Amino acid sequence: MHSLEDVAPVFRDMAHAIVWASVATVDGDGRPRSRILHPYWEWNGTDLVGWIATVPTPLKRAHLDAHPEVSVSYWRPSHDTCSAEATVQWYLDDDTCGRVWEAFASAPAPVGYDPFIIPMWSDGPTSDQFAVLRLAPYRLRVMPGTVMTAGEGETLLWSAS
């Protein structure tokens, strides 16, 4: 097992290079549902926090009300993979939504983008169709594709105690 300080920046860099993640939630009956989302990860040297700008659909809200956790998985054709299991909290307030909107808008490509390109967000971060999910990881895994394809490199694992 590795320290968060060793794994988090490597996870963030790989996740931001891949950009799109399969994010799974679980409904009240224990059935999983996956969707493709675009998380943004902040690492300050001590804490890793993920942010997802999303539409607060009744289905997502019901799933996260029943089970406020997600599994986030990234993959690219070179077989680089990274994943996070995290607790989730909804943010609908204008301050948080505005800050996360600006984080996406000002981040470098490919993880950064102009959120106004999403038609249902044409009213900006105060739109009732715009919400933010805050992800607090409790487990991270980073595996360069060379571990699987060539037996080279190292899989990094971190788990909160």
The number of distinct structural domains making up the chain is 1
pLDDT given at position 125: 95
Residues 8 and 72 sit within 8 Å (Cβ to Cβ): no
Q: How many residues can be counted in the chain?
A: 161
Q: What single-letter DSSP state applies at residue 124?
A: G
Residue pLDDT, tens place only, 26-48? 999 999 999 999 999 999 999 99
pLDDT at 18 over 90: yes
- The pLDDT of residue 30: 93
77-93 pLDDT, tens digit per residue, is 999 999 999 999 998 89
Give the domain CATH number at 128: 2.30.110.10
Rounded to two decimals, what is the model's pTM?
A: 0.93
Bond from prior residue into 110 cis (ω within 30 degrees of 0):
yes
CB 119 within 8 Å of CB 126:
no
72 close to 28: Cβ distance less than 8 angstroms: no
Q: Find the domain containing 58 and state its range.
A: 4-159
